[in-house]
Amino acid sequence: MKLEISLFGTEFQNPVLLAAGTCGFGMELSEVLDLETLGGFVTKSVTVEPRAGNPAPRVTEFQGGMLNSIGLANPGLEATRRDKLPWIRDNVKRARVLLSIAGHRVEEFFQLVEGFDGEEGFLGFEVNLSCPNDTRRAGSTFALDPDAVARIIEGCRARTQRPLVAKLAPNDPDVGGTARVAESAGADALTLVNTLPGILLGPADGIPELGAGTGGMSGPALRPSGLLAVKTARAATSLPLIGVGGVLGARDAVSYARAGAVLVALGTASFADPRAATRTVEGLVRWGRGRGVAHWTDLVTPRAGTAVHDTGGES
Ligand code: RRO
């Protein structure tokens, strides 16, 4: 099975990405994983100012996956430009990189796009509208506010020609409507989904397991929500979709393709096994060969009545 995908006017060598927040800025994982085997990766979300993040413990596990409240810990705009992007520019050639940006206020997204747009080392922006752990926003995410989604994406669109990918939330009761808002505002693609808000409490004392109290749930238990969000967005828009949530290997990646995702991203799986994404690429080749599927895109369900979307480039 051929895995190459033509998207955003460039080629992804395969559809498997590492999700935002699970691979730092690439260099952190490069000792244990050959990034160049991947379709690409999404960086940790960057804010204008550096952030230390939320109190420990920031991560806890349960049978269905894990819960995190990292709290947007990141080096900020200046240090990312100075220390992180040059490494990516010099070391990542075949994998495609999306730079994740996040803000507490709408204007911060614009500052980030303006601050990064002239730099090398990344293809486009993933606009994180759905972080569940921003204590300054008291758990409310922009993704649940269509006016905010429209303002942020429109403002980012006005400031960059690069691909803009809007990352939406799994607990959005109208994710199809939000997908359309993002499309009308100028998004080139959507990532579905971020983590699902949750809490784990000690049975003996009722004390939250995470230092911040609540967190975002990821791992296998998130997969049904991720698939539903992708399927719903697929019916609502023709934008390319990046499926995230509980992908452990090739079979799950194919499920996301069936729902309508042209790219898939792994997160939690690569904490348990840093090679999970590489294994997924290898597994996809075997999966397709075993079933006589010629191309990955043959598995990707298009919006009813349309062909698989390509925003540019040769196919
Ligand atoms: O940093 C985090 O706590 C975090 C972010 Br920005 C996000 O988008 N999703 C998540 O689960 N954690």
Q: What is the mean pLDDT of residues 229-239?
A: 98
Ligand 1 centre from 51 Cα, in Å? 12
Q: What is the mean pLDDT of residues 26-37?
A: 93
306: amino acid identity, one letter: T
Q: Where are the domains of the chain?
A: 5-298
pLDDT, one tens digit per residue, over 218-231 is: 999 999 999 999 99
Q: What is the pLDDT of residue 140?
A: 78
Q: Give the catalytic positions in this structure.
A: 131
- Report residue 252: phi and psi, to 5°: -70, -35
**pLDDT value at 75 more than 50:** yes
> Which of 130, 133, 167, 210 has most ligand 1 atoms within 8 Å of its beta carbon, as the pocket-test mutant?
133
What residues form DSSP beta bridges with 94?
none
**pLDDT value at 139 more than 80:** no
Whether the CB of 102 sits within 6 Å of ligand 1 = yes
What tokens appear for 296 in the block?
């990955």
Mean pLDDT, all residues of the chain: 95
pLDDT, one tens digit per residue, over 85-101 is: 999 999 999 999 999 99
Q: Is 295 left (phi over 0), alpha (psi -120 to 50) or beta?
A: beta
Ligand 1 centre from 211 Cα, in Å? 14
Q: What is the mean pLDDT of residues 260-283?
A: 96
Residue with more model confidence, 310 or 297: 297
Q: What percent of the chain has pLDDT over 90?
A: 92
Helix (H, G, I), strand (E, B) or coil at 235: helix
Task: Determine the Cα–Cα distance for residues 51 and 54; give it in Å rounded to an integer.
Answer: 9
pLDDT-derived band at 305 (thresholds 50, 70, 90) equals confident
Q: How many C-beta neighbours within 10 Å does residue 107 have?
A: 13
Q: Select from 64, 46, 3, 52 the least CA-distant residue to 285.
A: 3
**pLDDT value at 176 more than 70:** yes
What DSSP state is assigned to residue 307?
A: P
What DSSP state is assigned to residue 84?
A: I
Q: What is the mean pLDDT of residues 53-65?
A: 97
What tokens appear for 225 in the block?
């929500």
Q: What is the pLDDT of residue 315?
A: 38
Ligand 1 centre from 46 Cα, in Å? 11
Q: How many C-beta neighbours within 10 Å does residue 119 have?
A: 16
What residues form DSSP beta bridges with 17?
40, 265
| Gyration radius of the chain's alpha carbons | 18
Q: Which CATH architecture has domain 5-298?
A: Alpha-Beta Barrel (3.20)
Burial of 27 (0-12, 13-18, 19+ CB in 10 A): middle
Whether the CB of 72 sits within 6 Å of ligand 1 = yes
> Which of 72, 141, 217 has most ligand 1 atoms within 8 Å of its beta carbon, as the pocket-test mutant?
72
Q: What is the mean pLDDT of residues 122-146?
A: 89
pLDDT-derived band at 24 (thresholds 50, 70, 90) equals very high
